[in-house]
Chain A
Amino acid sequence: IVMTQSPDSLAVSLGERATISCKSSQSVLYSSNNKNYLAWHQQKPGQPPKLLIYWASTREAGVPDRFSGSGSGTDFTLTISSLQAEDVAVYYCQQYYSTPHSFGQGTELQI
């Protein structure tokens, strides 16, 4: 499954909304449980990635509620409702519907 993110980079003002898109080449919705096998990770410079969202919209414990995930099937969105300075990072979507568990190419978010 090929994951394609857009845009490749994005500049947003502090306090404004940031939206990142992720499209999969085939559906990652598993019909038997109606779950989308899609996660979002954040990677800050010099650090390992950090899980933000799984099942497309479930926020990981401790992740601020300004981060939200939406979408189903092949089209997904990560939204940061009010950008903070500490949100500067590269964001990756990842499908875990089938192996290999492919990542998008990443979206660099800047202020």
Chain B
Amino acid sequence: EVQLVESGGGLVQPGGSLRLTCAASGFIFSDYGMSWVRQAPGKGLEWVAGIRGGGEENKYYAGSVMGRFAISRDDSRNTLYLQMNSLRVDDTALYYCAKTGSSSITWTDYWGQGTLVTVSS
């Protein structure tokens, strides 16, 4: 059974940093692309960042987070990360870890439960 468990969310002041972690199990983690998707309270889904699998590790970002967020993965630990710097109030959201359907960044076939990030003074 595929499981994605996010952690690392919390309350942070504007300009601060957080690192989100996603622990993956139930599939061969290194073989699949992974993404982060966020959802602001009461709003829709926003794709944030993606990283290829299969040993390639190409990284992709939404314009709203480019230069502030960094996605990475540790295939030896079956773990996905999102380093978030220079956080802004509009980064407040539930952040989902998402597995894609192939080594490329394709459709999302599994979602975690999410970790809440609140940016406020």
Residues of A within 8 A of B (CB): 37, 39, 41, 43, 48-51, 54-55, 60, 90, 92, 94, 96, 99-106
- B interface residue count range (under 10 / 10 to 19 / 20 to 34 / 35 or more): 20 to 34
Given A92-B45, A100-B63, verify A48-B113 contact (CB < 8 Å): yes
Residues of B within 8 A of A (CB): 35, 44-47, 50, 60-63, 96, 100-101, 105-114
* A41-B108 in contact (CB<8A): yes
* A103-B61 in contact (CB<8A): no
* A96-B105 in contact (CB<8A): yes
**Other-chain residue from B44, B50, B96 in contact with A99 (beta carbon distance below 8 A):** B50
In the complex, how many residue pairs between chain A and chain B have their CB atoms under 8 Å apart? 62
Q: Is the interface of B mostly helix, strand, loop or mixed?
A: strand
Q: Which residues of B are found within 8 Å of A105, using beta-carbon distances?
A: 44
* B105-A101 in contact (CB<8A): yes
CB distance from A75 to the nearest CB of B (A): 18
Q: Is the interface of A mostly helix, strand, loop or mixed?
A: loop
Q: Which residues of A are found within 8 Å of B46, using beta-carbon distances?
A: 103
Q: Which residues of B are found within 8 Å of A41, using beta-carbon distances?
A: 45, 108
* B107-A51 in contact (CB<8A): yes
* B44-A49 in contact (CB<8A): no
* B109-A51 in contact (CB<8A): yes
Q: Which residues of A are found within 8 Å of B110, using beta-carbon distances?
A: 51
CB distance from B78 to the nearest CB of A (A): 19
CB distance from A62 to the nearest CB of B (A): 11
A100 CA / B36 CA spacing, docked (Å):
11
Q: Which residues of B are found within 8 Å of A99, using beta-carbon distances?
A: 47, 50, 60-62, 105
